[in-house]
């Protein structure tokens, strides 16, 4: 075990992420912070008391922080920082509805991370995801490869689950991929989808695939509408934790994430959902895959839409 990971925000998403990271038993320390006094300390105590049952040694530390930056010293010298801070969606809200309030929170958090953990790799999960990832990079001043967002892992997992349920097959036999934005311009990639090695297009009709694509695009909203308070956290936390694991283990795993794109797919100067090789320095390399002409066109449309919104965050 080695290394330190900090999770900023101890809501359902943050606390579940901290628990998953602790149960991996690969980090020496997991730090969980929140602005609600005592909440992160209480959750840390609770998780630590599960160690002998689940068989992990990772120590979880809780720390109450303030908007002014008090308490962040507990996160000092983190190798990886997961930013979950911010308000979740309510039914009927889009991710973009959160941009104003969450921008202020994410900027403050990012500045405090840069101060205490200048060499960290940052994984952003606050919504609207693509914009908050760009904002975190601007606020920290970190190299772009050390700031990434969690979206494609989650959207791809949702797509995989829907395909497996539709065909009544094991999820392990299904391979899917989503690129683009975490929102309206999400680009599921049917040409890269297969079931037991057989192309998805051989298993489902174009209209059935389109139906699953739409459900994937609205996957978060579907959960929000059912819960009525709060948003998804089990699948999102699994995705963020896997990304943090890839960083600390320097695994070189290729994952769909929100990464800085500069020339790949003929797209430049934007944080966008693409496949990337992940390791100790964050994004090692954006991995270009063969896309159909339609998929590539959709990805470029997504890039244009996201670039316009990311330009706006500089003033937030």
Cα distances (angstroms) measured from residue 17 to each of 6, 166, 240: 10, 29, 7
Question: Catalytic residues, which ones?
Answer: 182
In Å, how far are 126, 133, 269 from 92, measured between CA atoms? 18, 23, 31
Phi/psi of residue 160, each to 5°? -60, -45
Q: Which residues pair with 5 in a beta bridge?
A: 30, 80
Cα–chain center distance at 51:
26
Q: Are 78 and 6 in contact (CB under 8 A)?
A: yes
Please give the helix or strand (H or E) that residue 45 lies within, else none: helix 39-48
Beta bridge partners of 4: 29
131/270 Cα distance (integer angstroms): 10
């Amino acid at each position: 075990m080695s290394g330190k990971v900090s999770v900023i925000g101890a809501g359902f998403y943050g606390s579940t992420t901290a628990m998953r990271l602790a149960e991996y038993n690969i980090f020496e320390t997991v730090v969980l912070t929140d602005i609600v006094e005592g909440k992160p300390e209480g959750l840390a105590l609770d998780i630590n008391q599960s160690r002998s049952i689940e068989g992990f040694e990772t120590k979880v530390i809780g720390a109450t922080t303030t908007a002014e930056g008090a308490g962040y010293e507990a996160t000092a010298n983190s190798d990886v920082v997961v930013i979950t801070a911010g308000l979740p969606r309510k039914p009927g809200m889009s991710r973009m509805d959160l941009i104003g309030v969450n921008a202020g929170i994410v900027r403050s958090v990012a500045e405090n991370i840069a101060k205490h953990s200048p060499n960290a790799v940052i994984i952003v999960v606050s919504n609207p995801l693509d914009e908050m990832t760009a904002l975190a990079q601007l606020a920290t001043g970190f190299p772009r490869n050390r700031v990434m967002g969690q979206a494609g892992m989650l959207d791809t997992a949702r797509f995989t689950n829907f395909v497996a349920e539709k065909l009544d097959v094991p999820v392990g036999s299904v391979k899917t991929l989503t690129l683009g934005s975490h929102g309206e311009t999400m680009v599921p990639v049917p040409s890269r989808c297969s079931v037991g090695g057989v192309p998805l297009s051989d298993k489902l009709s174009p209209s059935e695939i389109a139906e699953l694509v739409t459900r994937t695009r609205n996957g978060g909203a579907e959960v929000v509408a059912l819960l009525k308070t709060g948003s998804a956290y089990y699948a999102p936390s699994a995705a963020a934790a896997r990304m943090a694991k890839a960083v600390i283990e320097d695994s070189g795993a290729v994952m769909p994430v929100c990464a800085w794109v500069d020339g790949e797919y003929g797209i430049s100067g934007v944080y966008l959902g693409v496949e990337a090789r992940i390791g100790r320095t964050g994004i090692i390399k954006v991995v270009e895959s063969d896309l159909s002409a339609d998929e590539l066109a959709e990805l470029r449309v997504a890039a244009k839409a996201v670039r316009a919104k990311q330009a706006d965050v500089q003033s937030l």
